[in-house]
Each structure stands twice: as C-alpha cells, then as structure tokens.
Amino acid sequence: MIPKLIADARKIVFKFGSNTLADKDGRINPVFLEEFADQAAAFIKTGKQIVIVSSGAQVAGLSTMDKWARKRDLHYRQALCAVGQVELMGAWKRAFEKYGIHIAQILLTGDDFNDSIRTLNMRNTLFTLVDEGIIPIINENDTVSVEEIKIGDNDTLAAQSAILWSADLLVLFSDIDGLYNKNPKEHPDAELICEVRDIEAVKKNITIGNTNSFGTGGIVTKLEAAKRVIPYGISTIIANGGRPRVLEALAAGTQSGTAFLA
C-alpha cells in the first residue's frame, strides 16, 4: 500500500521529529539531511512537490549553547529555540544547496491557523514557494508560542499544514518503523501495524508507552494528526526516518511503515 500511496501523491508533506534529525550526541545530523535531500531532489524531478515540517530547533540550540543545558526557565528555552532555529535552517540549506534547491523558512503559531486572513496569506505563500521550486520548511514559532497559542507538537502542525496546502500525503518520520500494538522500545515482541482504516478501532487494540528523550508528541499526536487529515482525503504514513535511503525504500516497498488510508 505504501508504494502506491507515494506513487499516487503529487504533493507530500514530510515531518521530521527531533529524534530523527539528531544523532546520538544530540546534534543535527548533516549526513541524514543530505541523504534526504538527495532523495527529495529525485522526487521533485519526477514532478512531485514537497513541504517539510522540521522539529529540532531546541536540540540544535542545545548543541550550540551547551552551557544552557540546565536552564529550565521558559524564556531561556524560547531563546534556545531562537538560536537553534538558525542552526537548523543552516543545516537544511546546506543539504539542499548541492541540488540547486532553495529552501524557505516558515514559522507559525496556533493563532495563525485561527485567523482567516493569516491562513490565506500562509496558503498563498506556500503555493508561491512550491510553484517556484522552493522547499518551504515549517516549524512552530517558539519565540511567541506561549501556552495559550501553542500548537504544541509538530505532528499537529504538520497535519494543519497538509490541510492548508491541500497535500495528497502526509509522511511522519519518527525513530520507530510505525505504529505498533505496544511500545517497541519497551517490548521487543511488539508487532507493527501496517495498515489502518479505522483509527478509533485501532486505538482500542494497542497500548501506548512512554516517548523518548527529545520527542514531545509521541505516538498519540501522530494518530491524532492522521485522524485530522483523513477527512480531507490526505492519507498518512508513519515511518522510520533513520532507515537507509528511507524515502526510496518506502517507495520501492522494501521498507515497511504504517499507512493510514483516507
């Protein structure tokens, strides 16, 4: 099913979690970004269009301002994201530069999606960038995202962005191969669920465990993201961004994941 979903989709939103983007030391992994850029460039040559939702500002900030690691104060955390966002975009820029592809930064808050004029502006900007062959890279605007206006996790942001851009497919990359019947990090015998048609039904049959170090959303927000986009005809894939040449492998059917069918 996944190869068909990818083959049929022209407009794809890819979301990367911090765990996928960072290496073991908590630094943004340039080799990973390069490998994705290489595959994305090949996709674009075949006529596909791409939008990226990228976490990782805080992780990138921490490796730049390591003396702030213990600061828990909200303003320091926001400041850390402001520093890290530059590092993050620098890493993405270098990754795509080699292929002659420009990237653009879009920072959004929950409020932006509640305002029809802002929503229209965001939509028009997204369409313009993509039409011009530029890859928009979206993240939450942590500097202004106090609790009241926070989207809170990039799975939700990716879902909202996919709807806004009228995407055909949403791909959520994590550090696990997909949705399992129980947390694969705690249970080695957990079984991968390859296809989901009824999210509520599947939720009743699985257990959800703790998430890992950098992630904020966990598997629950991924399920909610899929549930949010499906009424708009957007199918969703959860896959392991850490697998070698994952995009090609998913498209070829040599790598499994979980497909939520719209």
Residue with tokens 């694969």: 184
Question: Using the rule CB under 6 A, is 257 a contact of ligand ADP?
Answer: no
CB of residue 120 to ligand ADP, shortest distance in Å = 29
State the Cα–Cα distance between residues 106 and 102, nearest whole angstrom. 13
CB of residue 164 to ligand ADP, shortest distance in Å = 20
- DSSP, collapsed to helix, strand or coil, labels residue 67 as helix
Q: Which is nearer to ligand ADP, 61 or 218 (CB)?
A: 218
CB of residue 53 to ligand ADP, shortest distance in Å = 10
Residues 209-228 that bind ligand ADP (CB under 6 A): 209, 211-212, 215, 217-219
Q: Which is nearer to ligand ADP, 54 or 174 (CB)?
A: 174
State the Cα–Cα distance between residues 109 and 141, nearest whole angstrom. 6
Alpha-helix residue ranges (DSSP H) falling in the chain: 2-8, 18-21, 30-45, 57-64, 74-97, 110-113, 116-131, 154-164, 199-204, 218-229, 246-252
CB of residue 183 to ligand ADP, shortest distance in Å = 4
Question: Count residues contacting ligand ADP (CB under 6 A)?
Answer: 22
- In angstroms, the Cα distances linking 148 to 111, 140, 144, 239, 253 are 9, 14, 10, 31, 42
- DSSP, collapsed to helix, strand or coil, labels residue 92 as helix
Residue in 155, 145, 143, 166 with CA at minimum distance from that of residue 231: 166
Q: Which is nearer to ligand ADP, 101 or 206 (CB)?
A: 206
The number of CA neighbours under 13 Å toward the Cβ of 118 is: 11
- Paired residues of 138 in beta bridges: 53, 106
Give the residue, chosen from 43, 129, 175, 240, that forms a contact with ligand ADP under the rule CB under 6 A. 175
Residues 8-67 that bind ligand ADP (CB under 6 A): 17-20
**Binding pattern to ligand ADP, positions 88-107, x when CB under 6 A?**
--------------------
Amino acid at 163: I
CB of residue 2 to ligand ADP, shortest distance in Å = 16
Q: Which is nearer to ligand ADP, 182 or 243 (CB)?
A: 182
Residues 193-212 that bind ligand ADP (CB under 6 A): 206, 208-209, 211-212
CB of residue 213 to ligand ADP, shortest distance in Å = 8
Q: Which is nearer to ligand ADP, 82 or 208 (CB)?
A: 208
Give the Cβ contact number of residue 217 at 10 Å. 23
